[in-house]
Structure 1
Amino acid sequence: MEGKYKSIEIKRKSPNSRVFYVYLNRPSRGNALSPDFFVEFPEALSSLDQNPNVAVIILAGAGPHFCSGIDLQTLTSQSKGTVSNDGGRTGEKLRREIKVMQRSITAIEDCRKPVIAVVHGACVGGGVDIVTACDIRYCTESAFFCVKEVDLAIAADLGSLQRLPAIVGFGNAMELSLTARRFSGLEAKELGLVTKVFDSKEAMEDGVAAIAEGIASKSPLAVVGTKRVLIRSRDLTMDQGLDYIATWNSGVLLSEDLNEAISAQLQKRKPVFAKL
């Protein structure tokens, strides 16, 4: 799981911690998303998801930036690779390639474990696609964001246009996506894109580590269930959402985690839950 990747790096900062870090790891390229990323990232998340020692994942960027977007060389190669006299076959091939890249980002939502984004420096284009798929987002005051794709003559196709409106509101998402303007970490907080803005990268790392450890100490059944129900409920009516959680809890509510949580409350101690 912590093997060698070309585009990412996995770290566990403490041997007893159940918080693992995934770093976008192409700092010389501003962590631009390469073809390797779209293969390695979902594989790494799946591995972490299946590891019982992992409770929470923190997603960060190595070097001075979080992510500068999709590597322009990748876009150029895609454009050249689709030149053909058969427009139908060219379009079908390109659609398959886009769907593969989309699934790489959606892997964040598919992961049972919570994924927390910590953003410093640039979060542009594909970086916004990534953070909008994350469960919680934090950034530094000096961080900046940009839904850049319209400036590259394309419509964002990896999830920003689908996820951003639910986070910042339809009107704000439309304005940010059509203007491709750069906006600050403080404005990201005002829009609701991030939960909290930290003074520095160091303060963010310390603060988010504490938050992640707190989540990791909770019932894994409750944490996994909460993430899945919230994501699923986005596409459901109120009645459908209530029915979904009723069905979910009917399967997992009567657990040893519940017994442990009640016992810990009565005994005024911290609960200890089995790994998932």
Structure 2
Amino acid sequence: MNYSCFKADISDGIAHLRFSRPDKFNSFIPEFWRELPEAVTEISENAKARVIVLSAEGKHFTAGMDISVFMSGALDAPPENREVAAEAFRHHVKALQATFSALENARQPVLAAIQGGTIGAGVDLVSACDCRYASADAFFCVQETAIGMTADVGTFPRLAKIIPEGWARQMAYTAERIPAAKAKEIGLVNEVFDSHDGLLSGVMEIAGKIAAHSPLAVTGCKQMINYARDHSTADTLDYIALWNAAMLRADDIKESYIAKSEKRDPAFDELKPLKKSL
């Protein structure tokens, strides 16, 4: 399928979505908020890949939300309709939030390859990814504070669970630019690469390692890590016990050992496509 905001291709179990509006710094126009969850959900539900990589063309990963998205909300409602407009605007924001939640809810891991600036809503986006990698020129900025608003599409419920809370607060309160080296130091990114080409090559190598493993085991890891983040240790231990009681697959374990002894790559079954609800 063709998209107006990014290019999509799937090869060797890796779905690669490349933001393709470099002349506009890959800002998120209204079409983006519909297209991204559509593409990610299609890959996830139909098991079209084993891992998803997000990257961008041009100098910057993304300049964040395009001003046209603000204009489609209720910011300019007349005073007499403020409360009614505010109720509608809440639903508008929740629809935007769902775009990035699609990344978190995908059955496959989502890796972000980030170069140049990741600004405003871009931080919301990468916070919803499983892993983040950056080029040496990358920087991150919670820009919303600097323009008089509070970030509202995903940064706050996620960022403070990725990096130390003090740094999440500093990034939000100051709207300062956090360079790649500092982002790695505080745990926002896993690795920093010297160049844009090296970044994408390195992330694709990591994606290949993920794609080589049992899709059932990998999706189980993602489910458990997400669950552990939001629940107690006791609840998570109970959940992983229940998960493996139902979905621990002996055939995958056996195949991994046989493949190793035969010095070949293991062959695992893909996840099943999800049935559409009636």
Query: Could you tell me the TM-score, scaled by structure 1's length?
Result: 0.94
**Pick aligned residue for 2:14 from 15, 19, 23:** 19
Structure 2 unaligned blocks of 5 or more:
272-278
Q: 1:177 aligns with which of 172, 181, 187?
A: 172
Which residue in the other structure is 1:150 paired with?
145
Residue from 196, 200, 206 that aligns with 2:191: 196
Q: 1:122-174, CA deviations, whole angstroms, 9 ceiling, x for partnerless residues?
A: 10011100111100110000111101111111100011111111111111100
How far apart, in 1, do the equivalents of 2:70 and 2:58 lie?
A: 23
Q: Is the 8 A contact 2:74 2:89 kept in 1?
A: no
Q: CA deviation at 1:11?
A: 2.0
Tell me the percent identity: 37
> Are the aligned partners of 2:252 and 2:268 in contact in 1 as well (CA < 8 Å)?
yes
Partner of 1:219: 214
- 2:2 matches 1:7: no
Query: 1:24 deviation in Å?
Result: 1.9
2:74 & 2:179 partners in 1: Cα distance?
A: 31
How far 1:81 moved relative to its partner? 4.9
Give, in whole Å, the separation in 1 of the partners of 2:85 and 2:222: 38
CA distance in structure 1 between the aligned counterparts of 2:248 and 2:262, rounded to whole angstroms: 21
How many residues align structurally?
271
User: Is residue 5–residue 32 contact of structure 2 (8 Å, CA) maintained in 1?
Assistant: yes
Amino acid at match of 1:259: K
8 Å contact from structure 1 (residues 84, 90) kept in 2: no
Question: Which residue identity does 2:40 align to in structure 1?
Answer: L
Gaps (5+ residues) in structure 1? none
> In the TM superposition, what is the alpha-carbon distance from 1:258 to its structure 2 partner?
2.1
Match of 1:21, SS?
strand
Cα separation, 2, equivalents of 1:53 and 1:72: 33
Please give the alpha-carbon distance, in whole angstroms, between the structure 1 residues aligned to 2:48 and 2:30: 29
* 1:75 CA displacement: 1.8
- Whether the 8 Å contact between 2:28 and 2:66 is mirrored in structure 1 is yes
Give the Cα separation in 2 of the matches to 1:114 and 1:235: 18
Q: Using the alignment, how far apart are the partners of 2:237 and 2:260 within structure 1?
A: 27
Q: Distance in 2 between matches of 1:84 and 1:25?
A: 39
Q: 1:207 matched to which residue of 2? A: 202
Separation (CA, whole Å) in 1 of partners of 2:224 and 2:167: 26
SS in 2 for 1:234: helix
The answer to whether the aligner puts 1:133 opposite 2:128 as a matched pair is: yes
Distance 1:139 1:26, change over 3 A: same
CA shift for structure 1 position 7 = 1.7
Q: Runs (4+) of structure 1 moved beyond 6 Å?
A: none
SS of residue paired to 1:273: coil
Report the equivalent of 2:276: none
TM-score (normalised: structure 2): 0.93
Q: 1:237 aligns with which of 232, 236, 243?
A: 232
User: Alpha carbon RMSD of aligned pairs, Å?
Assistant: 1.5
Q: State which of 248, 253, 256 in structure 1 corresponds to 2:251.
A: 256
Deviates more, 1:185-194 or 1:84-93: 84-93
- Cα offsets for 1:77-125 (capped at 9, x unmatched): 4355533522221110000000000011110011001100000011001
SS for the counterpart of 1:65 is: coil
**Cα deviation, residue 205, structure 1:** 1.2
Alpha-carbon distance in 1 for matches of 2:118, 2:9 = 21
